């Protein structure tokens, strides 16, 4: 019998210490000789921020030689028997090993989009024996990254099919790679297991707020792709879907932009939050949808040292670059919050359409950049979209008008509109702008000319509120870069309990683009659940079949 030991203080440097180096301290907590511990496994480590103690706490799974019952009888705080539920909670149980029936020969699932939702949907299907076909409009990551980097340096025009949001890995390939979940059980554990198997730092299974890092995401993707192919999946890049085939009220396949038809569905659509042409194709095919609220604002950028001082009340030392999550929920007016905070990161262009400006943030794994940035976004209700009563896709036009105006105000060439925070709050124009991480250059603009009055008012109130919580947040070093419009999809495609479209069976809209996720892990989880819905229909659990382990 193994035991679980929780809340042990981590000794030494948070980055340099090895788990084995903690053995003497763990043995001291348990009041046993080190020799009695035959195996120790770090399963979670988190920063104890209570009263700004600046210390790390760790949970361990430990195997002892003998006498577990005697040790547990002592009633040591945070020490108990290890259970199967713990294996689920910490992602140590592999659900892919459950045997399945083989798939019918005439069924070949199609997955549209190779972002987190599409990749994990395809993987789960392939592990159960499906000969899945994964279609991605953009390039594989090895080609996509140089394409984007050259575009940022204005050396080549924007590629509408392969850019910051389209291509292998989806928008997550050019994001911070944060994983907003403390849970590791069930399908979440499965997702974390696979990420580690494909090259992610095992620490993501231990950290309370895990971070992949943009560079690590790019290294994981080729391994992920190769595993799909090993399992018999076909992966096609530079392949754009133009139509979804509706025959007899069911989705039977897709039509590609070159006119080719691919049948034998069903079809999982994981197109991401910026695939506006795909949304329209789904709507034309008969997939019922509704407009949904979104949040729009700007990126705020500070020197990372300022955030460290505000959060740690001093130099950070061995601690990681400080981050923050702030909310503003007034009794009257619009609520606002920070989103996708990137410590030691950069603000990046994130448009997929020509003549538009959109910004986002990202960090590499080391988070060593000079700046910290985060979106500050303000709520927009669906009834604010023009003609929304007649058009459930009206939110797309609302976003697009702001993005187009940003391009024009900044003078073209994909420069971004920017303003000092102090000037926005005082009503002044920024005669000069501080140095910034944004690679395509900034143009000083009065953001009142870009964002609707309601959003500007909400942005100002939120910034003033956040300045009370985080010293220097609205100070002279703070810069706003706009617009941040693609935080989520302004449309939701309605689906039933089996995740099929309510109005078009055999079409499964998933992830951020379908209106059911808000980040890498939630999108991946939605993709896995859609895949499981098909698996249970076509290849239910059995005592025989492909394990996918």
Alpha helices, H only, 352-497 = 394-409, 421-426, 453-469
* CB 176 within 8 Å of CB 363: yes
| Distance in Å from the first CA to the final CA of the chain | 25
Beta bridge partners of 437: none
Beta bridge partners of 95: none
Cα 419–Cα 422–Cα 428 angle in degrees, nearest 5: 70
Cis amide prior to 210 (ω within 30 degrees): no
Buried b (16+ CB within 10 A) or exposed e, 329-339: eeeeebebbbb
Tell me, what's the pLDDT at 178? 63
pLDDT over 50 (residue 545):
no
Alpha helices, H only, 129-204 = 141-152, 186-197
Contacts of 174 (CB under 8 A, 6+ apart): 148, 164, 165, 214, 348, 350, 360, 362
* CB-facing half-sphere around the CA of 84: CA atoms within 13 A: 2
Read off the pLDDT of residues 346-355 as tens digits, 9 standing for 90 and up. Answer: 999 999 999 9
Beta bridge partners of 295: 379
Read off the pLDDT of residues 7-66 as tens digits, 9 standing for 90 and up. Answer: 888 887 655 456 778 888 888 888 888 888 888 888 877 777 555 556 778 888 888 887
pLDDT over 90 (residue 95):
no
Tell me, what's the pLDDT at 231? 93
Size of the chain in residues = 549
Tell me, what's the pLDDT at 473? 97
* CB 421 within 8 Å of CB 300: yes
Helix axes 214-230, 141-152, angle to 10 degrees: 150
Tell me, what's the pLDDT at 91? 63
Residue 300: count of CB within 10 angstroms of its CB? 27
Lowest mean pLDDT among 213-227, 366-380, 478-492: 213-227
Six-digit token string for 67: 């006498």
- Distance, in Å, from the CA atom of 278 to the CA atom of 295, rounded to the nearest integer, reads 21
3-state secondary structure 55-91: EEEEEEEEEECCCHHHHHCCCCCCEEECCHHHHHHEC
Read off the pLDDT of residues 185-208 as tens digits, 9 standing for 90 and up. Answer: 567 888 888 988 898 887 777 665
- Residue where the block lists tokens 């209700």: 381
Residue 429: count of CB within 10 angstroms of its CB? 11
**Which of these, 368, 308, 378, 305, lies nearest to 338 by C-alpha position?**
378
pLDDT over 60 (residue 549):
no
DSSP state of 93: S
What strands lie across the sheet with 133-135, from one edge to the other?
234-236, 133-135, 110-112, 267-269, 507-509
Cα 143–Cα 531–Cα 543 angle in degrees, nearest 5: 125
* CB 498 within 8 Å of CB 404: no
Tell me, what's the pLDDT at 14? 54
Share of residues in the chain with pLDDT > 90 (%): 62
pLDDT over 70 (residue 233):
yes
Residue 470: count of CB within 10 angstroms of its CB? 18
Looking only at the bridges linking them, the beta strands covering 359-362 and 234-236 are unpaired
Is 0.75 surpassed by the pTM of this model? yes
Mean pLDDT over the full length of the chain: 89
- Residue where the block lists tokens 């620490």: 203
- Distance, in Å, from the CA atom of 424 to the CA atom of 436, rounded to the nearest integer, reads 17
Q: How many helices (H) and strands (E) does the chain have?
A: 13, 24
E strand or H helix at 380 = strand 371-380
- Distance, in Å, from the CA atom of 280 to the CA atom of 138, rounded to the nearest integer, reads 19
145 three-state secondary structure: helix
Distances (CA, A) of 293 to 58, 330, 398, 448, 505: 39, 18, 11, 22, 26
């Amino acid at each position: 019998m193994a035991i679980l030991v929780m809340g042990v203080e981590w000794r030494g440097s948070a980055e340099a210490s090895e788990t084995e180096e903690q053995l003497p301290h763990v043995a001291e907590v348990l009041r046993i000789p080190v020799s009695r511990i035959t195996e120790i496994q770090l399963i979670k480590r988190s920063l104890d921020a209570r009263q700004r103690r600046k210390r790390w706490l760790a949970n361990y799974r430990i195997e002892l030689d003998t006498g577990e019952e005697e040790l547990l009888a002592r009633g040591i705080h945070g020490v108990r028997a290890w259970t199967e539920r713990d294996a689920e909670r910490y992602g140590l149980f592999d659900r892919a090993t459950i045997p399945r029936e083989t798939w019918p020969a005439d069924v070949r699932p199609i997955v549209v989009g190779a972002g987190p939702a599409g990749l994990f949907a395809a993987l789960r299907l392939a592990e159960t024996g499906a000969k899945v076909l994964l279609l991605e409009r953009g390039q594989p990551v090895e080609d996509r990254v140089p394409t984007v980097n050259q575009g940022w340096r204005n050396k080549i025009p924007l590629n509408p099919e392969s850019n910051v949001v389209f291509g292998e890995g989806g928008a997550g390939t050019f994001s911070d790679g944060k994983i907003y979940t403390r849970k590791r059980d069930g399908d979440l554990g499965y997702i974390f297991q696979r990420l580690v198997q494909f090259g992610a730092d095992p620490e993501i299974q231990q950290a309370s707020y895990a971070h992949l890092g943009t560079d690590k995401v790019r290294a994981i993707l080729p391994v992920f792709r190769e595993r799909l192919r090993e399992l018999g999946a076909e992966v096609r890049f530079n392949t754009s879907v133009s139509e979804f085939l509706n025959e007899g009220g069911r989705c039977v396949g897709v039509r590609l932009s070159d006119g080719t038809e691919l049948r034998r569905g069903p079809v999982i659509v994981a197109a991401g939050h910026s695939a506006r042409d795909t949304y329209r194709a789904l709507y034309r095919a008969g997939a019922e949808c509704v407009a949904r609220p979104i949040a729009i604002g700007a990126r705020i950028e500070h020197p990372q040292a300022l955030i460290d001082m505000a959060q740690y009340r001093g130099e950070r030392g061995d601690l990681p670059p400080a981050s923050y999550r702030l909310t503003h929920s007034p009794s009257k007016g619009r609520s606002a919050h920070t989103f996708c905070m990137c410590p030691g990161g950069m603000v990046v262009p994130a448009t997929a359409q020509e003549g538009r400006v959109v910004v986002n943030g990202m960090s590499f794994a080391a988070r060593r950049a000079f700046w910290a940035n985060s979106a500050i976004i303000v709520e927009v209700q669906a009834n604010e979209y023009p003609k929304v009563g007649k058009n459930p896709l009206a939110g797309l036009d609302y976003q697009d008008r702001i993005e187009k105006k940003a391009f024009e105000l900044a003078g073209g060439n994909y420069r971004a509109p920017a303003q000092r925070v102090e000037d926005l709050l005082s009503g002044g124009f920024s005669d000069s702008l501080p140095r910034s991480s944004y690679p395509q250059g900034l143009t000083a603009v009065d953001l009142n000319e870009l964002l609707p009055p309601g959003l500007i008012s909400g942005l100002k109130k939120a910034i003033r509120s956040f300045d009370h919580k985080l010293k220097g947040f609205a100070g002279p070093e703070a810069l706003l870069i706009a617009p941040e419009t693609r935080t989520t999809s302004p449309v939701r495609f309605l689906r039933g309990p089996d995740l099929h479209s309510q109005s078009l069976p055999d079409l499964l809209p998933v992830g951020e683009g379908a209106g059911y996720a808000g980040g890498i892990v939630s999108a991946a989880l939605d993709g896995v659940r859609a895949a499981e819905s098909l698996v249970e229909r076509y290849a239910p659990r059995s005592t025989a079949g492909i394990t996918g382990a």
